[in-house]
Amino acid sequence: MRSLLGTGERLIRVLAVMGCLALALTGCTRLRIRREMHEANAFYKAQNYEEAVKHYKNVVALDPGYMDAWLNMGYAYRALFHPGSEHPKDATYASEGIAALRKYLETNPENETARQYFLEFCTSAARHDDAIAFFEQELKRKPDNPQIMRSLATLYAKKGDVEQAMKWWQRWTQIEPRNPEAWYIIGVASWERSYKNPSIGSDERRKVITEGIDALGKALEIKPDYFEALSYMNLIYREKAKLEATEGNSAGAGSDYETADKYMKRALEVRNAQQKAQTKTG
């Protein structure tokens, strides 16, 4: 019996020692994490981003849940990255930096600054698919979020996929039908599709122009003094006039040019009024 009691006491003592050692190790780890983070931030402030990245990596190796280290690592990689470069180093900076920012955003999706940084990094590195995948996942969590839809539309537009971009802009207008900016952006995109694509056929061009005029018209219904929408209504009617002229409809072209001039005049009136108002308040 005494032997059993002795064994039990020894076991308790061993466990106690192990517990103390574990606490000591945890304490040492915390101190090391703190030191590594301090050094990383110091290197970052000194713009020594290569060294900063090394120390941020040490932090997340010790504590993968240290989200600020992931965020700052992403920022440091962005500072190292050179847009347009084909150097293997820049490919690594982009890959690891985008991954670090995405890791942070998985647990901090509401950080708008980090989101914009992530989006800008993906765009600068021509890694649109990375950003699209992230925002599509975000949309599953927030299916009616207009900002996510706008981000997806912007990414698809930069990628050159106009059809997908228009799809997401249209969905944005369904969620926020009284937001003039949503309609305005569709109008601008429609003008660009016509103006920058001389090879598209007449039927397709007419469809695109009509969509643009309708969208800009809705923007102006909501906000009649929308200078930018008035300016693009002027431009898109000039596209319509050119189309009518190529099809031999000189009367229609003349009418469209007159309409364009009216919108241009109205846009200038609005801008002058806004400038006068700013002068008075200034």
Q: What is the pLDDT of residues 203-218, one digit of tens each?
A: 999 999 999 999 999 9
**Whole-number pLDDT of residue 11:** 52
Residue 98: name the closest of 77, 67, 116 by CA: 77
Percent of the chain residues topping a pLDDT of 70: 90
Q: Nearest 5°: CA angle at 146, between 140 and 150?
A: 100
Check if 34-126 and 177-282 are the same fold.
yes
pLDDT < 70: residue spans in the chain: 1-27, 282
**Whole-number pLDDT of residue 209:** 98
Domain spanning 177-282: CATH superfamily: Tetratricopeptide repeat domain (1.25.40.10)
φ/ψ bin of 126: left (φ > 0), alpha (ψ from -120 to 50), beta (otherwise): left
pLDDT in tens, 135-153: 898 899 889 999 889 989 9
Q: How far apart are CA 122 and CA 151, in angstroms?
A: 12
Q: How far apart are CA 10 and CA 58, in angstroms?
A: 38
The CATH number assigned to the domain with range 34-126 reads: 1.25.40.10
Cβ neighbours for 145, distance < 8 A, ≥ 6 positions apart: 138, 139
- What is the DSSP track for 131-147? HHHHHHHHHHHSTT-HH
Q: For the chain, which residues make up each domain, given as ranges?
A: 34-126, 177-282
**Whole-number pLDDT of residue 5:** 44
For the record, the structure tokens of 161 come out as: 């996929």
pLDDT in tens, 13-37: 545 544 444 444 466 788 888 899 9
Q: How far apart are CA 99 and CA 222, in angstroms?
A: 41
**Whole-number pLDDT of residue 21:** 43
**Whole-number pLDDT of residue 2:** 44
Rg (CA), the chain: 29
Q: How far apart are CA 179 and CA 150, in angstroms?
A: 12
pTM (whole model) above 0.85: no
**Whole-number pLDDT of residue 246:** 95
**Whole-number pLDDT of residue 122:** 93
Residue 218: name the closest of 193, 257, 189, 181 by CA: 181
Q: How far apart are CA 5 and CA 150, in angstroms?
A: 71
Helix/strand/coil for 161: coil
**Whole-number pLDDT of residue 26:** 66
- What is the DSSP track for 31-45? HHHHHHHHHHHHHHH
**Whole-number pLDDT of residue 260:** 98
